[in-house]
Every structure is written in C-alpha cells, then in structure tokens.
Copies of this chain bind each other. A is one copy, B any other.
Amino acid sequence: MINDARIQVFEAHQADRGISLEEVKRRLKQLKIETPSWGYGDSGTRFQVFKKAGVPRTTFEKMEDAAQVHRFTGLSPSVAIHIPWDKVDDYSRLREHTESLGIKIGAVNPNLFQDDDYMLGSITHTDQAIRRKATAHLRECVAIAREVGSDIVSLWLADGTNYPGQADIRKRKRWMEEALRETYRELDQGMRLLIEYKFFEPAFYHTDLADWGMAFNLATKLGPQAEVLVDTGHHPQGTNVEHLVAYLLDEERLGGFHFNGRKYADDDLIVGTTNPYEIFLIFYQIVAALREEENAGARRTAERIAYMIDQSHNIEPKIPAMIRSVLNVQTLYAKALLINWKELEEAQVDLDVLRAEAAVREAFEQDVEPLLHMVREERGLPPEPMKAFLESGYVEKIQDRGVGGASW
C-alpha cells in the first residue's frame, strides 16, 4: 500500500531531479496497450499444451476476459483478433458485444500458417492457386477490419523454408511483394498495414520476412500506410532492439510493437520478466522521439505507435498474466518518462560518457509505484490492479466454463 508520505517524498524527489510530474502523468494516462484474444486461450509448446479450467470457449468469452484487464488497469481498451481463430458469423454482433464491455476490437491478424495448404508457404507458395487463396485471406482480413471498426491489419508471415534448395528464395520474395501490394490496395484511408518480421521459426532454414530490413523495405515499397511491427522476441541473440526502434522512428516507419519476453528464441514470456532494462531502453528512444515530434511539429509517428502484447501463457493463469504484462509495460514506460533530458543532453554534448549513461540508468532505478498509484487514483482505477482483480471473484465465476477452451 502506498501512503501519503511515500507519495509526497516521491513528488519532492522528482522535483529535486527537475522532473515535471504533470507532464509525466499526462503521458502515462495516454498509454494504451492492446491485448490479444489468443492470449486468453490455452497455448503451449510443440511438446504439450496444458489445458486449464476457465479458459474462454468462444471469442465472445475472450472479449469478456479482456475487458477485465482493462477494467482493473485502464490500460487495455482494445483487443486484437486472429482470423480464423476469432472467425464469427456476424462481426457486427461481435463488435457490439465487445463495445458493450467497454472495449473495442483492435488489430486484425490474418493466419497464414495453419491451413494444410500452407505447409510449404502461403503468399510465397510455388503454386499460384495457394498464393491466390492466401491473398484472398489477407483481403478478407481488411474487410473484417472495416466491419469491426479497426484501422489496423497486422501481418506476421510464417512462410519460409527448412532446407537449402527447397525453393527459389528470390521468386518467393517477388510473390510476397505481389500479394502485399494487392492487400495494400484494399486498405481504406486511415487504415494501416503493420508488417512483422521474424528471424527463425516455424521455418527453420530461412523465413521470407526475416528481419526489420525486409519489413521496412516492403513498407517503403507499398506506401505510407504500411509500417513495421516490432515483436521484441523475433530477433537474433545480441540484437540492440532499441537501436532498431530509433532507426524506424527516424524513418517514420515504426508502426507498433508486439511485446513479450524471451531468453533464447521466441519464448513469448511475460514482457519485462527477463530483461526489463531492454523495454525501458526502447521507451527511452520513443520518449526522445515524442519530445522531438512535439517540439518540431513533425509527423506524429511516435505518438501513434500501436502497443500490443503478443504472448503465450503456457503455464500462467491467463487474465492475471495479462494484467501483469500490461502493468510491466506501464512501469517501464513510467521509468523512461523520468529521464532528466536536460542532464542527459548536457552530458552528451560534453562527451561525458559516464554522466550520460548515469542519466538514463538513474531514471530506471526510480521506484515508480507511487507515481502509478497517483495516476490510477486520478483516473478512478484501483491502486493495485492485480490485487483488485484477484479479489473480484471473476476467476471463480469463470470456472464453470470447465477445461478445454479455445487454443491454437
């Protein structure tokens, strides 16, 4: 629990550090982190999917669970859907149901990896008929987005090969481009196509969209409504992800994030649990860009970044895992907002490496619990969202769904 003394001391300390808390709180209140419908269902590794009780059986139930996350955190007013996992007969009914829960439908995610036809590729398949089918699915997803009131289609392409020689890499590249051009043309004004990339898995020799460079080049070719989607777990070991973020911001092509945590591959763990400093450093780059945009009256790229969670909760209870995730993101964003920019920029100009590094790290070392309490109180939210959710009785209520809900 946070008492008044802690809050006062926090405020005084930040004032000493030269931080305007009003500004910090303003930005914090704008933070929105979309959660994914598939994060509420059962998931697992290739070795096993452990079934849990209370898992939603339908997309409608997934939305109800997602609404809980928003209810207690105020952070997650939208939910990404995955087609066909969330395919329904009547999308307007789904939209109504969702909006009646106080949230809305966010990014629409096509699925190009679970149909038997896609074993050797979807939009990059050697067989034109399969490429056509996959492209039609992409176009269908744009239509669904229109129907559910979403302005984002986010594409993760699982295509690739397992062996040298298996296919013609350059032909596949051209087919991919062709399919995405066709999809892009379907977009309404104001819609965005976010292009994700992945370095490995489920294709083990080469993935057709392997890294940010390929996603960026595609986006550039397609046009201004195409942007890059950074999944924090999709990089080779040792990658400086915040550098890529800064780079894409500077090129005005950073569309959004899929947040998660990982130690080795695409482990899809809860964001901020393996290397919280990395997420903080990503936000440091974003805050730098936000400040510049505001000062320069430049194109608002940083401001409209779509923050999304993309995780598999294999062993965790689903809703608490999602609450933990968005709280971790909020915490690390809050820390980045406490950087003393004057101090930092002076040290950079003075070429004082140690002071510059300290200016960034010092913000990370702040305990932001009092700050988050303030923000929650001002917004009429429970000061301790996890505790409030666990005490709400919701978990008990959904047990009658039984075991064997949705999974992928």
A236–B200 alpha-carbon span in the complex (Å)? 13
Q: Are A314 and B162 in contact (CB under 8 A)?
A: yes
Q: Are A170 and B348 in contact (CB under 8 A)?
A: no
> Whose C-beta in chain B lies nearest to the C-beta of A239?
B236
Question: Is A165 at the interface (CB under 8 A from chain B)?
Answer: yes
Nearest CB of B to A280, in Å: 9
Kindly supply a per-residue 1/0 record for chain A positions 356-394, scoring 1 wherever the CB is within 8 Å of any chain B CB and 0 otherwise: 111111001111110000000000000000000000000
Question: Is A193 at the interface (CB under 8 A from chain B)?
Answer: no
Question: Is A191 at the interface (CB under 8 A from chain B)?
Answer: no
Nearest CB of B to A207, in Å: 8
Q: Are A162 and B269 in contact (CB under 8 A)?
A: yes
A170–B237 alpha-carbon span in the complex (Å)? 23
Residues of B within 8 A of A211 (CB): 211, 213
Question: Interface stretch among A114-122, A139-147, A182-190?
Answer: A114-122
Q: Are B275 and A275 in contact (CB under 8 A)?
A: yes
A173–B213 alpha-carbon span in the complex (Å)? 16
Categorize the interface residue count of chain A.
Answer: 35 or more
Q: Are B236 and A45 in contact (CB under 8 A)?
A: no
Residues of B within 8 A of A297 (CB): none
Question: Is A296 at the interface (CB under 8 A from chain B)?
Answer: no
Known: A51-B116, A127-B351, A353-B316. A360 touches B240 (CB 8 A): no
Question: Interface stretch among A66-74, A90-98, A99-107, A281-289?
Answer: A281-289
Residues of B within 8 A of A1 (CB): 16
